[in-house]
Amino acid sequence: MKIIECPRDAMQGLEQFIPTQKKIEYINKLLEVGFDTIDFGSFVSSKAIPQLRDTSEVLEKLNVQRSNSKLLAIVANTRGAEDAAKFERITYLGFPLSISETFQKRNTNKSIAEALNTVEEIQNVCVKANKTLVTYISMGFGNPYGDPYDVSLVAKFVDILVSLNISVISLADTIGVSSEENITSLFKDLSRQYPFTEIGVHLHSNPFTAIEKINAAYLAGCKRFDGAIRGYGGCPMAKDELVGNIATETIVNYLQGKGVSLDFNKTAFAEAQSLADRIFPKH
């Protein structure tokens, strides 16, 4: 079971800038917990995401040598991928590929066709630099724009990604529209069609529906969950109202209740939650 902690997603939509030193302190604490991966920052335009303009500076001060967790950075174009790939400390590059034309343009200023070309270019960058590309299928459970959506469309995009030798795909519920039914059907269908591809979920939710979404993904066979401590986060490019990530502690409590063994440092996890309460503005 892989738990991916996403402080990058938790921070990116905040208007109030979190000081660089506080980010360093927080992410270093997360590196002590035992997460498989930390989605720690992004190599994108500082005008688009001003909160993360200090990603390179944060990266320099992270204690990755003392952690088994790997680092993931989000990129929005090939240039960002080339910049991120220069850093040995980074294992994964993440790219948001939307099946909603409207959201792809809002999020990366590209059409879907252009974004697919970018995916191929970034994959080539990753191969050369010994990195792994994680492709997020944004709006993977529906969209608010009236753009076409159905399960077969998601499968079509996964098929394209698999043909490009992309081995890690995360189904992203960017605005919290997923339900138990479509999580179950989508994940089961894709897992059956692509048994050698690592497929995970990056779900957004309000606290009242989080458990049912986690349960649906887990029972469908998901072994890769993204979350953010305290459920902070949301995509500033999606809608005016941010729908937060599913809280990591909710995911962890659910999995442990199912008997899943997670090699976590419980003290560090508790300290990270306490630190988040001090760093992030109150809901």
Look up residue 129 and give its two tokens: 């630099």
How far apart (Å, rounded) are the C-alpha atoms in residues 223 and 2?
Answer: 6
User: Which residue is catalytic, options 6, 126, 222, 235?
Assistant: 235
How far apart (Å, rounded) are the C-alpha atoms in residues 199 and 154?
Answer: 12
Which helix H or strand E contains 9, and what residues bound it?
helix 7-12
Burial class (CB in 10 A: 0-12, 13-18, 19+), 155: middle
Question: 230: phi > 0 → left, psi -120 to 50 → alpha, else beta; which?
Answer: left
End-to-end CA distance of the chain: 30
How far apart (Å, rounded) are the C-alpha atoms in residues 245 and 83?
Answer: 27
Q: Tell whether the torsion through CA atoms of 135, 42, 7 and 57 is positive or negative.
A: positive
CA 264 from centre of chain:
20
The CA angle 222-234-92, to the nearest 5 degrees, is 55
Residues facing residue 135 across a β-bridge:
95, 169
How far apart (Å, rounded) are the C-alpha atoms in residues 102 and 77?
Answer: 17
* DSSP string covering 246-275: PBHHHHHHHHHHTT------HHHHHHHHHH
Look up residue 95 and give its two tokens: 């790219």
Is 6 among the catalytic positions? no
- Active-site residue list: 235
